[in-house]
Structures are given as C-alpha cells and as structure tokens.
Structure 1
Amino acid sequence: MGRRVRPWWLALVASLLLHGSLLGGLEWRLPQWHPPAEPPPFDAQLIAARPPAAPPQPAPLAAPPRTPRVAPAELPAAAETEVAEAAAIAAADLNAAPALRVDEAPAVAPAPVETPPAPVEAPPAAAEAAAPVLNPLPPRLDLQFRVHYGVASGEQTLLWVNEGERYTLTSVAAASGLAGVFYRGRFVQTSRGRITPHGLQPEEFWDQRGDKRSRASFDAVNGSLTLIPAKGAPRHFAYQGDVQDALSLFFQLALTAPPPDGRLTYTVFNGKKLRDYSYEVRGEEILQTALGELRTLHLARVAGDDGRFEAWLAIDRHYLPVRVLRSDEKGGTVELSVKSIGP
C-alpha cells in the first residue's frame, strides 16, 4: 500500500503566499465610513433696510381666507442639513449687497389725490316737457260775429282781456231782427284763469242761459273739476294734464298757433261734462269774409258723439277764429262768421 499524501503542505503553501503579498507591498483595506466634512464657519450680519415706497395701490380687495397655522413638525437630520446650507447661501447674498443708509433713501413724492368729479345734475322729469313758444296776443280783443241758426239769426261778441298773468273771456250772444221775437234773453259764457308758459289754464267757468246759471271750478293741482249746475247736486270730474273750456279752447289755439297738418288733442269742458277731443288740421284755405280775403287754417273735430265742429283760424290775425260751424244738442247747425276784429 502506497504512502498517503498529507494536506500539511497545502497549508504551508497558503501561508507562504499570504506572507509574500504582505511583504511585497500589496495594499488592501477594508472600507471605512468617514463623517461628512463640517461646513466652513461663516459670519452673517443682517442690516435693516428701509423698504422702497410702494406705488399707489388700487382699492383694497377682499382679504383671502386665513389658513390656520400648523405647528412645524420635527425635521429629520438630513432635512436640517439642507436648511442650514440654504441659510448660509442667503446670508452670503445679504453680505454681498451694499447696505442702504437712511439718509440715502430716495425721496418719495406723496401720491396724488384724485378730485372727485362734480355731480351731474339730473335732467328734468319727462312730465315737464319744453313749453311751446306762445303767439303774443294784444291785451284786449273784441270780435264781432254774425250768427245763423236755421232761419234765425243773431249776433255774438267775444271779448278777450289780458291782465298780465290773468285772462278773462266773455261771450254774449242774442237773437236779432225777427228771431228776437221768438228767442228772448241772452246767452252768456265767461272763462277766467291764468296764462302759463303752456297756454291758458282755466280756473272758473260760468254759463247763463236766460235765468238758468251754472258754474264750474277747476283745481289744476289736484286735477279735479266741480260743476254746480242750475238744478241738482254738484258733480265732480277728474282729469289729467291740461284742460280747456268751451271759450278758452279758441284762444288756446290762437296762442299755440297749430301746425298746418297733423292732429291736436285736448280735454275740454263743454259746459256739462269733460270730454277728450281730437282735431284734425286740414291745411290752409283762403276764406272770403267781411274783413276781405283771409288766409286761414282749417281744423275739424274727429267724428264723435258730440256732432260737428269746424273752425277756420286767421293766420295773419293772431290765429283768431273767423268762422265756426258746430251742431247743437238738437242736431241743428250753428254758423259764426266774423264781422269785425278790434281793440
């Protein structure tokens, strides 16, 4: 049986190789952990600088809702290191910037004070429309008419008296000739009131036919009319805006000088009740009268329950009526033709 080889020589070979590597300068180290180098010390100095003047700010807006403050949580060690480095950089920037002295601060001009615009006056109410330009009338006018009613005839006088801001209109009619035997007495109407920038404003109206007499009172402030008839209880009427009576309507037309075309609307008291009347202007016409040939403006009331009414206004005679056609309660037609116009 051969000799058995022992492993001792293997251990010898390994020992020789280890010692040879150590003696031959081979360097082999285990990895080691080194702590991070500490940042170099710095010296920070904060200098209070005067904040620059803020430009004029617009009107303050509503402040946003406040966010509740939350207590800061404890930071880990790595986060603390990052915060320290950021603080060091900020301090270095502050040291590099030159400090601003108080006496070197630029002067700030005070913000200009805006002067509020002057208040704009509100325009007048729409109800207060511009007053028309009134046609001037003499202080006194006396118009004489010939009256025709069927086979009967008569005369009528229309007297206008202007006393500054007051006026009085009186109409007196009576039968003449043979008709006076059958139609006795006089028919008298009177209108009194004020002259305003818009024309006539009646305050009282009287109507007397023989021994029967009625009276009406106008209250322009409250827009009401009270009629006290010859018989019966008083009657009350309400109206809006301007109102005329059977006499003042003629001189209201004379003062306002109607245009040659179009329509006019008036609220008129005809002696018994208030009515709204519309008048159609039919243009100019040449009319033969006792005063000669006259240029007239022809008006006609739009058909209604009160029958016919037409008037011719003399353009060159203050737009005064020189001819009138109207129907009465019995359906008869009354015609007025001018005889004279005088002071």
Structure 2
Amino acid sequence: MKHTFSKYLFTLILCLTVQPVFAEPASKIQARFDVIGFGFTLANINETFTRTGESYKIESVTTAVGLLARLKPETIRVISEGKITAQGLVPHSFILTRETDTDKNARAKFNWETATLTHYDYKGVEDLPLAKGTQDRLSVVYHLPLLSQAGQHEINFNIADGNNVEKYFFTYSAEEQLVHVPLGEFKTRYLYSTPVGESIKYEIWMAVERNNFPCKIIVTDSKGGKLTQVLTELTITP
C-alpha cells in the first residue's frame, strides 16, 4: 500500500499539450481535493492558482491523512510558475519538495529559448530536449480547461516532473457525463488516456459549468490498482 501510494499519488496531476485556446484563465482558483484508495481517504490536496498579468503561479500542498498518515506521514509541496499565452500555460519552473523523503525532491527548469529542459534530482543535473507544448505535473491541470474549447478529439503531450519526461495520448469523449463528487453533482466532459505497455491509465472528468475544472481524476496502474482524486471545495475568481 505504501509503495503504491508513493508511486502513483503525485501522478494524479494530469495533462495536455498546447492547442489554440479561446479564453484566458481565471485570476484566482482555490481548490481542495480528497485522494481515495484502498477504501480510505489517504490524503488532502490544497491548491491555489494565481494569475498576475501574463504570469501565473500554482501552489499545491498534499498532506497524508488517516491510515496513511500513521503508516507514512508526508507532506508534498509543489510550485509551478510560468507565462500565460494564447496557447495556454507555458511553464518556466517546477519545484517539488517533501518534508520526509527529501531525497525525492526535484526541480525542472524550462528554457524555451534554447529548447532545453533541465532536471535537478537525486541523480544530479540533466539537460534534455524541450519539446513544444511540454507541461509539468501541476501546470497541466490548469492548462487543460483552456484547451477544452479547441475542439480536438485526440491529443498528445509531454509532461516533465523533475525526474522524467513522458508522452501521453488522450481522447475526449463526445458525450457529457453526470458525475457526483463530495462538492456536488456536475455535468462533465470525460477525457481518458490509452495505456501503452505497463503505463498508467488516466481518466479526467471536467466540470462544464465550473470553467471545465477537473472535478474527478482516476489513476489506474497496469495491475488494476486505483487512486481517485475528487473535488471537495472550489472557488473561482474571474
């Protein structure tokens, strides 16, 4: 249980690639999620997105609760900063810190002028090619609602997290779905990934009447293990 949580909790934060968008993000979004797995609430996530002019900053704090807090107490803090463009969010930096497992701390620097992505983690410093449209594990949640208006049915993207860069392939469902989460019942757009080999499957439900903000996310590993992230509080300031 501890191994599964450590491996998959943070990857609940999901993803898209850059496509044309038609609306700028809100000036501020405050959200709170529960993370559920093995029949228990394992963690709480508190996030704040702030837009200042053409810049953004996202701060996220994940805290283990209940049974997990007794077995493996941990607090994960993540910060993503960058620019807002006509194509959505363009991350410049990503920082992940853990209070307990500090050897898993990681950073990513996005140098768009040189198309270089620099990772800083326990392995040292590594420079990698930076593909157009790359997001980080936090920026994608706020990039996603902007892209939902682009009319694409299939999309692919790269995500960087300070340790690795991975490519994903996602498909939008044409039909809306009603989804119930602790905050209430929402009309949603459904987005899912197509796993390749041992890769993880992601499912995202975006609340249509709440700026397409994700209200539910499910991560399923290759053996069928699942973690679910559900929205419990949301405040959007235009």
Shorter-chain TM-score tier: 0.7 to 0.9
2:49 pairs with 1:160: yes
Residue matched to 1:198: 87
Residue matched to 2:209: 316
Residue matched to 1:141: 29
Deviation at 1:147, TM superposition (A): 0.9
Residue matched to 1:301: 193
Which whole-Å deviations, capped at 9, do the CAs of 1:85-130 have from their partners, x for residues lacking one? xxxxxxxxxxxxxxxxxxxxxxxxxxxxxxxxxxxxxxxxxxxxxx
Which whole-Å deviations, capped at 9, do the CAs of 1:257-283 have from their partners, x for residues lacking one? 246761011121144211221101113
Pick from 180, 183, 186: which aligns with 1:288? 180
Shift in alpha-carbon separation, 1:201–1:155, aligned structure 2, 3 A = same
Shift in alpha-carbon separation, 1:202–1:312, aligned structure 2, 3 A = same
2:227 pairs with 1:334: yes
Aligned-partner SS, 2:63: strand
Q: 2:177 & 2:75 partners in 1: Cα distance?
A: 33
Pick from 126, 131, 135: which aligns with 1:240? 131
**8 Å contact 2:106–2:161 — kept in the other structure?**
no
2:142 pairs with 1:228: no
2:82 pairs with 1:189: no
Which letter does structure 1 place at the counterpart of 2:128?
Answer: F
2:157 pairs with 1:266: yes
Question: Could you say which structure has the higher strand fraction?
Answer: 2
Query: How many residues matched?
Result: 212
Residue matched to 2:110: 218
Q: 1:179 & 1:240 partners in 2: Cα distance?
A: 37
**8 Å contact 1:135–1:257 — kept in the other structure?**
no
Residue matched to 1:180: 69
Q: Please list, as runs of the form range in 1=range in 2, the aligned pairs for 1:37-76 lying within 5 A after superposition.
A: none
Structural RMSD (CA): 2.2
TM-score (normalised: structure 2)? 0.81
Shift in alpha-carbon separation, 1:330–1:247, aligned structure 2, 3 A = farther
Aligned-partner SS, 2:173: strand
Q: 1:154 & 1:162 partners in 2: Cα distance?
A: 27
**8 Å contact 1:301–1:310 — kept in the other structure?**
yes
Deviation at 1:151, TM superposition (A): 4.5
Q: 1:299 & 1:323 partners in 2: Cα distance?
A: 11
**8 Å contact 2:22–2:146 — kept in the other structure?**
yes
Q: Which residues of structure 1 form unaligned runs of 5+? A: 1-130
Q: 1:193 & 1:150 partners in 2: Cα distance?
A: 36
Shift in alpha-carbon separation, 1:278–1:194, aligned structure 2, 3 A = same
Higher relative contact order (CA 8 A, sep 6+): 2
Q: 1:207 & 1:162 partners in 2: Cα distance?
A: 20
Deviation at 1:290, TM superposition (A): 2.4
**8 Å contact 2:220–2:227 — kept in the other structure?**
yes
- Which is higher, the Rg of structure 1 or of structure 2? 1
Residue matched to 2:170: 279
**8 Å contact 1:154–1:175 — kept in the other structure?**
yes
What is the percentage of aligned positions where both structures have the same residue? 23
Q: 1:169 & 1:337 partners in 2: Cα distance?
A: 19
TM-score (normalised: structure 1)? 0.58
Which letter does structure 1 place at the counterpart of 2:203?
Answer: E
Q: 2:192 & 2:56 partners in 1: Cα distance?
A: 26
Q: 1:258 & 1:302 partners in 2: Cα distance?
A: 21
Shift in alpha-carbon separation, 1:326–1:187, aligned structure 2, 3 A = same
